[in-house]
Structure 1
Amino acid sequence: MGKTFAEKILALKSGKESVITGEIITVSPDIVMSHDNTAAIAKKFKQIGINKVKHPEKIVIPLDHCVPAATEKYATNHKEIR
């Protein structure tokens, strides 16, 4: 049976010829996506002493809730995300 799209990508990124379901592998993502509740999540990280992300150039956060910002609170959150 052929490999799934995900299996092909994970094999490529892990440097292996092939991977199988259930196998534990280590990969580094090219791009990471988050959602626009990231401002709240960032505040929690700051509370535990984490003030920056390792690779900010690899993060994409689409603002897809309450756009344009309907309240000052949303506008502030969007500004913090940017």
Structure 2
Amino acid sequence: MVYGLMTILICLVAVESFQFSQSLEREKRQIVKGTKWCGNGNIADDYDDLVLLEDTDKCCREHDHCDVIIPINSS
């Protein structure tokens, strides 16, 4: 359970820490090392393309594919 919570925490931190790059061109956007899905956008070749930090990558991939959109500065 602790491992799962840490994975979620890492994913959330990764997503939050790279929001600043939203205005950058796609090729300049940053992705967390050891992942293909954590950051602004993704660099995955397809849905099943995961790398070293597989559990964290899966979490970020799920976040990227979430249908619920919450506007910035709202709750």
- TM-score with structure 1 length normalisation? 0.23
Answer 1 or 2: which has greater strand percent: 1
- TM-score with structure 2 length normalisation? 0.24
